[in-house]
């Protein structure tokens, strides 16, 4: 069951507009690309599309012993508050967060993959987005849900005639030196956008909305520069499809262009 707070008011059959930011769980988009969202580098309006919205997992000791349904409500309320603060319309796909089941059962992985693909394509068509942004999963030890959602987005949107798939730096995982691997694909061009101190502070404030999920190591990693970056500045990376249509969507005008360059 989907839960979407609003629909793009485009005419039926009219031109698509807007961007859907796919969050694997409540909080993943906050870690990955708050800077890019605040700079409005892709077409508006913006939608937050959270896949696994029914979750009892948390990092808050005050929630220990709380019924799973109540924890799930808290996580969803944090996600909605993040969307409100950043100017995104919230869309939840209503899928259950069950990583252990997916890791132990190949059939369950495939069934869930197909469900995620269908629901993502359905909600993106419903709101009429022309662009989708999804985290690029890094490393062999990456969370099974991140790998699954990346596969679902790729199968749903790569090669699509009407929607372009952009990929973003899946922080904090990408800042762990033992797990990071770069996307090496001639079909995508990477742009590294450096964040000034004010933007880093704004990103940390946005992350802080997810009070039930905050871990000190995550906050530490999102403030770290890429090891090979000579500027030493925190940054976010977006991979852009090497298509004239997609490249024309990306707006790296000032102040973004002053701090952005090909990776």
pLDDT digits (tens, 9 = 90+) for 27-52: 899 999 999 999 998 999 999 999 98
pTM, full prediction = 0.85
Please state the length of the chain.
263
Model confidence at 209, pLDDT cuts 50, 70, 90, reads: very high
* CA–CA separation, 52 and 195 (whole Å): 29
Question: pLDDT over 70 for what percent of the chain?
Answer: 77
Does residue 10 form part of some domain? Answer: no
Task: Tell me the DSSP string of 205-238.
Answer: HHHTT-TTT--HHHHHHTTSPPTT-TT---EEEE
Q: What range defines the domain where residue 97 resides?
A: 15-262
CATH assignment at residue 83: 3.40.50.10320
Model confidence at 256, pLDDT cuts 50, 70, 90, reads: very low
Identify the pLDDT of residue 123. 95
Does residue 88 form part of some domain? Answer: yes
Does residue 5 form part of some domain? Answer: no
Count up the domains in the chain and report the number: 1
Would you say 225 and 215 are in contact if contact means Cβ atoms under 8 Å apart?
A: no
Paired tokens of 253: 């005008």
Phi-psi region of 94 (alpha: psi -120 to 50; beta: other; left: phi over 0): left
Does residue 122 form part of some domain? Answer: yes
> pLDDT at residue 147 above 90?
no
> pLDDT at residue 239 above 70?
yes
Does residue 114 form part of some domain? Answer: yes
- The DSSP 8-state label assigned to residue 57 in this structure reads -
């Amino acid at each position: 069951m989907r839960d979407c707070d609003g629909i793009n008011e485009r005419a039926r059959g009219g031109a698509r507009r807007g961007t859907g930011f796919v969050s694997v769980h409540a909080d993943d988009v906050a870690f990955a690309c708050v800077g890019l969202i605040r700079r409005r580098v892709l077409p508006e309006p913006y939608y937050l599309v959270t896949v696994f919205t029914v979750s009892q997992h948390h990092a808050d000791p005050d929630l220990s012993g709380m019924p799973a349904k109540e924890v799930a409500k808290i996580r969803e309320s944090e996600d909605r508050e993040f969307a409100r603060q950043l100017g995104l319309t919230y869309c939840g796909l209503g899928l259950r967060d069950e990583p252990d089941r997916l890791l132990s059962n190949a059939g369950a992985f495939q069934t869930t993959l197909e469900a995620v693909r269908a629901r993502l394509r359905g909600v993106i068509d419903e709101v009429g987005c022309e662009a989708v942004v999804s985290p690029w999963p890094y490393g062999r030890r990456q969370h099974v849900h991140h790998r699954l959602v990346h596969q679902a987005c790729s199968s749903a949107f790569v090669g699509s005639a009407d929607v372009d798939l952009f990929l973003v730096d899946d922080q904090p995982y990408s800042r762990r030196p033992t797990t990071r691997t770069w996307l090496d694909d001639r079909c995508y061009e990477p742009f590294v956008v450096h964040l000034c101190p004010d933007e880093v502070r704004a990103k940390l404030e946005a992350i802080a909305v997810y009070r039930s999920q905050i871990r000190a190591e995550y906050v530490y990693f999102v403030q770290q520069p890429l090891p090979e970056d000579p500027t030493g500045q925190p940054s976010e990376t977006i991979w852009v499809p090497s298509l004239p249509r997609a490249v024309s969507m990306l707006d790296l005008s000032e102040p973004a262009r002053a701090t952005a360059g090909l990776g």
